[in-house]
Amino acid sequence: MANKTVYIYKFDFEVGYLIKSPCKECNRRKNFPECADDCSILDKIQIILSEARSCTRSI
């Protein structure tokens, strides 16, 4: 029997959808949206999304 690969996702959008904003449970929420420029979680999400390639028009 072949081994199955198990993926561990750090963000819910890695499986196709961003279900909930990470800002909703953030300790710095009271400073929103000013805190967005300094947010490491939002930076990670933006980096991952910018590296993704759309498969809708792959040629």
- Per domain, the residue ranges of the chain are 27-53
CA distance 43 to 32: 15
Rounded to an integer, the average pLDDT of 14-32 is 80
Q: Residue 17 burial by CB count (10 A; 0-12/13-18/19+): exposed, middle or buried?
A: exposed
Q: CA angle 13-17-23, nearest 5°?
A: 65
Portion of the chain with pLDDT greater than 70, in percent = 54
Q: What is the predicted pLDDT for the residue at 48?
A: 75
Structure tokens at 38: 């300094």
Binning pLDDT at 50, 70 and 90, where does residue 58 land? low
Rounded to an integer, the average pLDDT of 31-54 is 82
Portion of the chain with pLDDT greater than 90, in percent = 10
Q: Please, what's the largest Cα pairwise distance for the chain?
A: 53
